[in-house]
Amino acid sequence: MSGYVYTPTEFMAENSYYDKAAADRAVNFIQKLCHTKGEWAGQRFRLMHWQEKIVRDVFGTKRADGRRQFRTIYCELPKKSGKSELAAAIALYCLCADNEPKAEVYSAGVELNQARIVFNVAVDMMAQWPVLSRRCKLYKSAKEIHYLPLGGVYKALSADAAGKHGFSPSCVVVDEVHAHKDRTLIDNLLRGSGRARRQPLFFCITTAGDSRETICWEMHSKALDIIAGNLSDPSFYPCVYYAPDDADWTDPAVWAKANPSLGIIATLEDFHIDCESAKSNPAEEQKFRQLTLNQWLGSTTKWLPTAVWDACDFPVDPEALYGRKCYAGVDLSSTTDITALVLVFPPVKEDGRYDILPFFWLPEDTIPLRVRRDHVQYDVWKARGLFYTTPGDVIDTRFIRKTIEGLSEVYGIEEIAFDPWKATHIMQELDDEGFTVFPIRQGMKSLAPAMDELERLLLKKQLAHGGNPVLRWMFDNMNVKADENGNVRPVKDKKSEKIDGMLALIMALYRAVMSIGEAPSVYDKGGRGLIVF
């Protein structure tokens, strides 16, 4: 993705509709509350644009049966954006104005003190509105608010309650999701909601974290995939504001685009002061970029902006490539996963482009489950001819082998590169049939030269991929891991997503580059000796 601000504009599911009266009711309730801190303390809560959009979308978008469409709201913004105040207001609405009998509303945090941040804001808001304070009773020692007319309760809940069951939440506010290293509490609350409630609401607020092995990173990744159109989940509402990793973090224009509340809550002067401090201190720089620009900074990083990939969306005509020499890369799946084959055609002219043709397979019987579980539109891609299937619920390698044999009748397949860890059997069969096969282990030595070449081709727009949406999705999923000399190899962006097509492309490109001229070794860069096993 190449932008700065990612907020949903239209995620209304089929047969859903917009209930303006319901949206107005939620907005009017919240704007009768008062701010509790700073210069606005005691003043009416006037929703900022981005806040009002969330409230209207969430409470106004209805399914055909009248229930709310959105159940999970993922709201990721930098610090000092007004997330906690909005979360407290929504929690009070769900307790007192959602017409939910015996509502159970929870503020959940890793520690009780964290959970109490939003809860305490809600307490102060309630106390400043006489209409609410007369109908609610605060139990200070238990950290609970009881709504007397309908018997509802709002309480703070910490992770030490993770092992407890029996929750039946109507609304859960999870503060600083990135701090939840253990997903047990969130999973328990999620499973509890929806079983006994007609339209539960799970409201997650957070800034960027520093670990990609967390439930927060999973939700962050899912949110961006939904916004990009790679996933479909009508119950999940994504709202993410951040600056891309390659943006100039010292540029005030970048700050403004990543911070929708800049100038209202935080001031530009504050940002300038923090930025100047960060320029001379790497630790401060990381803090500034994570908290102010909402950037995820971890051991793996995004390789290239998607805009670089999209700029190589040159058309590829398979028939025009008939008879051309090419190199194949195969990433063979486990028995039930994606298998990818990519053909790379070196240019016929010195300044020409490399053309690529990708092919993907899945077991036919697994597609409905994958669509429901992963929220990836495999069924749509299959209908468009972008995915092939093999019968049954496991990959039948005979179909892949037959496809390669068929392709060899119209294209000059010089070599087939493969990862020997998974594809030895099929490659032995192809070798027996006269194909030249070449094993490539998935380490830095083999993959780094091809990554360097792929980056060069993309930046110089000397690659043509035809805009294949499956391969674009896999490019989005790919991060890189670097060694001490700056060599990189591909790694998954998140556990559940796939980069099979990119791995197949990288292996095929490696052999194609070797055919034109010996690809550089990572050991030629200096600074590292041979590793002997």
Pairing state of beta strands 136-139 and 144-147?
Answer: antiparallel
- Please give the order of strands across the beta sheet that includes 136-139: 5-6, 236-241, 72-76, 201-206, 171-175, 104-109, 152-158, 144-147, 136-139
Non-local CB neighbours of 419 within 8 Å, separated by 6+ positions: 330, 331, 332, 439, 440, 441, 442, 503, 507
Amino acid at 159: A
In a domain, 445, yes or no: yes
Range of weakest confidence among 5-14, 146-155, 522-531:
522-531
Residues 233 and 378 in one domain: no
Same domain as 392, residue 282 = no
Give the model confidence (pLDDT) of 109-149 as tens digits: 888 888 899 999 999 999 999 999 999 999 988 889 999 99
Instruction: Judge whether 344 lies within some domain.
Output: yes
* Residue 409: per-residue pLDDT: 94
Residue 487: predicted pLDDT: 77
Average pLDDT, the chain: 85
Q: Count helices and strands (H / E) in the chain.
A: 18, 21
Same structural domain, 380 and 501: yes
Note whether 396 and 390 are within 8 A (CB): yes
Residue 531 lies in a domain: no
pLDDT in tens, 322-350: 999 999 999 987 677 899 999 999 998 88
Q: Quote the CA–CA distance of 323 and 345 in Å, as a whole number.
A: 10
429 shares its domain with 495: yes
Give the domain extent around 263: 252-298
Identify whether residues 289 and 404 lie together within a single domain: no
What are the φ and ψ backbone dihedral angles of 347, each rounded to 5 degrees?
A: -65, 150
Distance CA 372, CA 397 (A): 25
Q: Pick the most confident of 171-180, 211-220, 312-321.
A: 312-321
Q: Would you say the pTM of this structure is higher than 0.75?
A: no
Bridging pattern class, strands 354-363 and 339-345: antiparallel
Q: Are residues 55 and 186 in the same domain?
A: yes
Question: Within this chain, do residues 232 and 287 fall inside the same structural domain, yes or no?
Answer: no
The answer to whether residue 533 sits within a structural domain is: no
For 281-285, 349-353, 383-387, which range has the lowest pLDDT when averaged over its residues? 281-285
Cβ neighbours of residue 244 closer than 8 Å, sequence gap 6 or more: 1, 2, 3, 4, 302, 305
Q: Which two tokens stand for residue 239?
A: 């709202």
| Positions of E strands within 256-319 | 301-302
pLDDT for 485 beyond 60: yes
- What CA–CA distances, in Å, run from 323 to 26, 319, 408? 64, 9, 9
Q: What's the pLDDT score for residue 526?
A: 39
Q: Is the pLDDT of residue 530 over 60?
A: no
Query: Are residues 98 and 166 located together in one domain of the fold?
Result: yes
Are the C-beta atoms of residues 511 and 327 closer than 8 Å to each other? yes
Q: What is the mean pLDDT of residues 354-373?
A: 90
| Domain assignment present for 143 | yes
Question: How many structural domains comprise the chain?
Answer: 3
Q: Report whether 224 contacts 6 (CB < 8 A).
A: yes
Establish if 247 belongs to a structural domain: no
In this prediction, residue 484 carries a pLDDT of 55
- Please enumerate in sequence order all residues whose Cβ is within 8 A of that of 446, keeping only pairs 6 or more positions apart, or say none: 440, 510
Q: Report how far Cα 332 is from the mean position of its chain's Cα atoms.
A: 25
310 and 293 belong to one structural domain: no
Residues 235 and 348 in one domain: no
SS3 letters for 326-358? EEEEEECCCCCCCEEEEEEECCCCCCCCEEEEE
Based on the fold, state whether residues 115 and 188 are members of the same structural domain.
yes
Residues 41 and 151 both lie in one domain: yes
Asked whether residue 470 is domain-assigned, the answer is yes
Range from 40-54, 150-164, 365-379, 441-455 carrying the lowest mean pLDDT: 150-164
The average pLDDT across 14-31 equals 94
Interhelix angle 469-477/500-516, nearest 10 degrees: 90
Domain's final residue, options 280, 298, 316? 298
Is pLDDT at 522 greater than 50 in this prediction? no
Question: CA 234, CA 20: separation in Å to the nearest integer?
Answer: 19
Q: Given this model, what pLDDT does residue 6 score?
A: 44
146: number of Cβ within 10 Å:
17
Report the CATH number at residue 126: 3.40.50.300
pLDDT band at 3 (very low <50, low <70, confident <90, very high): very low
Does residue 449 lie in a domain region?
A: yes
CATH assignment of the domain containing 436: 3.30.420.240
